[in-house]
Amino acid sequence: MSVSAPESQPIGKPSFQRALEAAHAAAGGQDYPSGALYVVATPIGNLADMTLRALHVLSMVDAIACEDTRHTQQLLRAVGLHRAGNELIALHEHNEAEAAQAVIARLQEGQRVAYVSDAGTPAVSDPGARLVAATHAAGLRAVPLPGASSVICALSAAGVLGDGGFVFAGFLPAKAGERGTAMDALAQEPRAVVLLEAPHRITALADALAALGGRRVTVGRELTKQFEQIATLPCNGLPAWLAEDPQRQRGEFALVLHPAETSNAPGDDDRVLRLLLAELPLKTAVKLTAEITGQPRNALYQRALQWRDE
């Protein structure tokens, strides 16, 4: 069933009024099932990154669960929306299990509830995963509304090469011992790794990454915001880069640790692949060779096919 959005009350930036009109025109005729949780991505800094579908849904749901009610109320007002205080439900890392049950109760009554974190896509590094899991466990539907994500934003600007995918590590542990263990694992990870960090811990992270030597890292600071900064440099140069300008230590950080460069001598990957092909099926041999040597799987696969046809 299609649901028309209620008339918005413009108390925020008037520049969003046309966006709201466009949102209702573009998304108003779509289907919005009742008794569903809408997982809504919000901007990570630039308000203009709010999607039309997100604007429409946030204006028409029965309630909005959010990581910080004050922060979300400010966001809603900034985009020209107004929701009464009793329509906002606090759901954060300290009360997620309990608050999730309150949301489930609303969904079981047939209400539509949106969930937003303070910024970006919920349930990735921010709260929301327990809520979504509880929604599924109750036999209810979770509807994702994609949008801004610091993880994907950083990756898209890093220029990471290779076809091995990436690992999302998020925030490393705060305790030195646990952080050291995590860093040891990162040193052995050949794929790209996305990390998040807060300003008060960025120098500690830089010092830890410096142990990885010349492996490259892309630093994304204040992504999408006015003072956005993106730089790619060797890990062992990161502490000095941060120290050069105090401004570089401010803001939220998303970092991409580039894939480790292979140290195999020329022809070593061919030798490994030939040995494995003699004992294993082609796809398995290619997969293992890629993991051992760090070479792109597609290139190894084409090479194996060429040898088979010779």
Check whether residue 20 and residue 143 sit in a common domain: yes
End-to-end Cα spacing for the chain? 60
Check whether residue 19 and residue 141 sit in a common domain: yes
- Cα 63 to Cα 10, 56, 96, 111: the distances in Å are 19, 13, 16, 8
* Domain stops at, among 106, 125, 148: 148
Domain assignment present for 9: no
Identify the domain containing residue 302 by its residue range: 268-309
Amino acid at 271: R
Domain assignment present for 221: yes
Check whether residue 164 and residue 199 sit in a common domain: yes
Check whether residue 99 and residue 42 sit in a common domain: yes
* Domain stops at, among 94, 119, 148: 148
Question: Is the full-model pTM beyond 0.75?
Answer: yes
> How far is it, in rounded angstroms, from Cα 242 to Cα 231?
11
Per-residue pLDDT of the chain (310 residues), as tens digits, is: 444 444 434 343 458 999 999 999 999 999 999 999 999 999 999 999 999 999 999 999 999 999 999 999 999 999 999 899 999 999 999 999 999 999 999 999 999 999 999 999 999 988 999 999 999 999 999 999 999 999 999 999 999 987 678 999 999 998 888 988 898 888 888 899 999 999 999 999 999 999 888 899 999 999 999 999 999 999 999 999 999 999 999 999 999 999 987 655 556 778 888 888 888 988 898 888 877 776 777 778 888 888 877 6
CB 126 within 8 A of CB 82: no
Check whether residue 190 and residue 304 sit in a common domain: no
Check whether residue 159 and residue 139 sit in a common domain: no
Check whether residue 164 and residue 245 sit in a common domain: yes
* Domain stops at, among 109, 125, 148: 148
